[in-house]
Amino acid sequence: MARGKRPRTNEAGPKDAGSKPQARPKAPRGSAEEFVFAPLGGVGEIGMNLSLYGYGTPAKKDWIAVDCGVAFAGPELPGIDLVMPDPSFIEGEKKRLRALIITHAHEDHIGAVADLWPRLGCPIYLTPFAAAMLETKRLSEAGAPKIPIRVIRPGERVELGPFAFEMISVAHSIPESTALAITSPLGTVVHTGDWKIDPTPVLGEKTDEARFRALGDAGVLAMIGDSTNAIREGSSPSEANVALELEKIIAAAKGRVAVTTFASNVGRIRAVAQAAMRADRQVVLVGRAMERVITIAREQGMLEGIPPFVSVESYGYLPRDKVVAVLTGSQGEPRAALARVANDDHPEVTLAPGDTVVFSSRTIPGNEKAVGAIVNGLVKQGVQIITDRDALVHVSGHPRRGEMEQMYNWVRPQIAVPVHGEPYHMAEHAALAKRMGVKEVILANDGDMIRLAPGEPDVVDTLPAARLFKDGYLLIEEASRVVPERRKLSFAGIVSVAIAMDERGVVVGDIQMDMAGVPEQDAMGDDLAELVEETVLDCVEGLPKARRRDPDAVAESVTRAIRGTLNARWGKKPMCHVLVVTV
């Protein structure tokens, strides 16, 4: 969809879509103030969430930011650990940035805070569980800054300049997930965060239907909504159904049981622990991430009635039919506990024929190959594998179409802006919102500034919305040469050459050369290193005398010659680093 264009609907929605639409707010008399929404990440993609809400004149606005998350780098970004949104725009507006509000503690919503907060410098509002997760993460990273945290709970209202916001409980796959009601003088926006409707969650609050209905009755200007499962019909099964299935599997197992899930899914881990208790088994946590989250959950009273888990060192001493291991590594992470077990190199945990591994998780797109390698390793050990294709051992934390329809019936916004999804998900969300009678639906891109009020909503500006890459301890810009150079290295290797020449342009001594990622011989059996060395000498000797006395000109000519020779013999052009030193 072209920038600034949006699907519209003037048809009346279904009769059950809600009450009569509220009149669109008008700007205060004599002012040019506007209420805007501007995503810097999380639109057209899943992950890396960072959204801005602004109120004021086009030249001077107050801002609040919502979420500050990461995405995990794929093979197209060799060596990069994490990807996060570039906050340059809001960094330039930091004097008027009132707060950063975190909806929940998943990495795609909170994972960039430690790295990006020094560039924002504002207070952070979040729930007790998210605050504890952030503090634990900060303490684990050397040099991480002390961040001003304001802990709040659902139902509390906070005033921030022209804004007020309230957290609203929603069901999701991590404790204390919230939606936001953000109010300005020009209307109220519901920012859903990640949510689902689960009538029987294993842990935490249900999605607060009464509060969403009350907001809808009062009039909602816009809803900024999760699109992740907009392509799926019906409603997501409950966590209680998963708990029942896990109980059946653990009760029927003859040998050891290992369950892998997201470390942050405390409700799922609680369900595994309850099933283990009923089967007279003890639970062993395997993986540092799992241990950190469970420590926080216990401190916050989320595991009441669950006995302490036994140490991983006890695993090998427990009878095979008396143990359930809960492991990290459901996404195929090579250094996680499950990968080490699959490779048979974990120091404490082993599996054998007759044991069972339950993947109580969904494979994130892009991780299929890594997860497949772990599954194959376990199958070779004779282990039985159970995934969500075999039994109801996982449910999503995001709403399907039926749940989205319910939310639209409750909230009845005048404007819908799909976010948190790839383009296909967002397009399906937009179509659903139109069917539900939403007057204006806007499909946006990262960086679009959408004026929500006054007047007709529209994309009125484009903000910088680049990416930052976490590379070891460093943050590098998307435009950096680092990643393109690594791609070239992974494709065709590198040739490094050092040449010493005197003032007359004569080669002094031997040429020093090294090649990495380049075959040793060509198709005819000729040694490519010797061929490259001959190419360098022939190139230098063939240069005019004046050009030979220019080190930069020599380096440029030698680079072209090497790449041309190797392309003729190999079919590829490696990177070349040529150093010419005058002695």
> What's the pLDDT at 106?
97
pLDDT at residue 144, as a whole number: 78
Assess contact for 406 and 212: CB atoms under 8 A: no
Residue 9, pLDDT score: 38
Same domain, 107 and 171: yes
Question: Does 48 reside within a domain?
Answer: yes
Whether 463 maps to a domain, the answer reads yes
**For residues 267 and 274, what is the distance between their CA atoms, to the nearest angstrom?**
11
Domain boundary among 477, 512, 543: 477
Domain at 342, CATH number? 3.40.50.10710
What is the share, in percent, of the chain residues with pLDDT greater than 90?
85
pLDDT number for residue 31? 56
Residue 355 neighbours by CB under 8 Å, 6+ apart? 255, 256, 257, 258, 320, 382, 383, 384
Cα 470 from Cα 392, distance rounded (Å): 36
- Give, as one character, the DSSP assignment of residue 443: -
Look at residue 364 in the predicted model and tell me its pLDDT: 83
Residue 14 inside a domain? The answer is no
Q: How far apart are CA 225 and CA 443, in angstroms?
A: 11
| CATH (domain of 502) | 3.10.20.580
Query: What's the pLDDT at 142?
Result: 73
C-alpha Rg value of the chain to the nearest Å: 29
Report the C-alpha gap between 239 and 104 in whole angstroms.
18
* Residue 74 pLDDT class (50, 70, 90 cuts): confident
Does residue 527 carry a pLDDT above 70? yes
Task: Determine the length of the chain.
Answer: 583
pLDDT of amino acid 19:
40
Asked whether the predicted pLDDT for residue 344 surpasses 60, the reply is yes
Residues 490-509 have a mean pLDDT of 92
DSSP per residue over 44-113, as a string? SBSS--EEEEEEEETTEEEEEEE----EE--TTSTT--EEEE--HHHHHTGGGEEEEE-S---HHHHTTH
Residue 536 covered by a domain? yes
pLDDT for 23 beyond 70? no
Residue 18 has pLDDT above 60, yes or no: no
φ, ψ of residue 394 in degrees (nearest 5): -155, 140
Residue 121 near residue 98 (C-beta atoms within 8 A) = no
- In this structure, are residues 225 and 192 in contact, taking their beta carbons and an 8 Å threshold? yes
Instruction: Report if residue 507 sits inside a domain.
Output: yes
Are 218 and 271 in a shared domain? no
Same domain, 362 and 279: yes
Domain of 438, CATH number, reads 3.60.15.10
Q: Is the pLDDT of residue 211 over 90?
A: yes
Structural domains counted in the chain: 3
pLDDT at 353 over 90: yes
Class of residue 284 by CB neighbours under 10 A (exposed 0-12, middle 13-18, buried 19+): buried
Q: Where are the alpha helices (DSSP H) in 287-396?
A: 288-299, 337-342, 368-380
**What does the pLDDT read at residue 252?**
97
Residue 341, pLDDT > 90, answer yes
For residue 182, the cross-strand partners are 165, 189
How many angstroms separate the most distant Cα atoms in the chain? Answer: 90
What value does the mean pLDDT of the chain take? Answer: 92
Instruction: For residues 113 and 230, state if they share a domain.
Output: yes
Is 156 in the same domain as 174? Answer: yes
Q: Which of 334, 245, 341, 261 is nearest to 294 (CA)?
A: 261
Among residues of the chain, what percentage have pLDDT more than 70? 95
- Kindly state whether residue 471 falls inside one of the protein's structural domains: yes
354-396 confidence digits (pLDDT tens): 999 999 999 887 789 999 999 999 999 999 999 999 999 999 9
User: 80-119, pLDDT tens digit by residue?
Assistant: 999 999 999 999 999 999 999 999 999 999 999 999 999 9
pLDDT at 264: 95
Residues 6+ apart with CB under 8 A from 214: none
Please say if the pLDDT value at position 30 is more than 50. no
Name the residue type at position 566: L
- Same structural domain for residues 66 and 208? yes
* Residue at 75 is within a domain: yes
**425-443 pLDDT per residue, tens:** 999 999 999 999 999 999 9
Question: What is each CA distance from 64 to 44, 57, 70, 91, 163, in whole angstroms?
Answer: 21, 15, 19, 12, 8
pLDDT band for position 8 (cuts 50, 70, 90): very low
Give the residue from 445, 477, 509 where a domain finishes: 477
Do 576 and 563 meet the contact criterion of CB atoms below 8 Å apart? yes
Q: Residues 387-414: what's their mean pLDDT?
A: 97
In sequence order, what DSSP letters do the residues of 524-540 get, joined into one string? T--BHHHHHHHHHHHHH
170-174, 362-366, 548-552: least confidently modelled range: 362-366
pLDDT of residue 115: 93
289 lies in the same domain as 433: no
Range of the domain at 92: 33-234+396-477
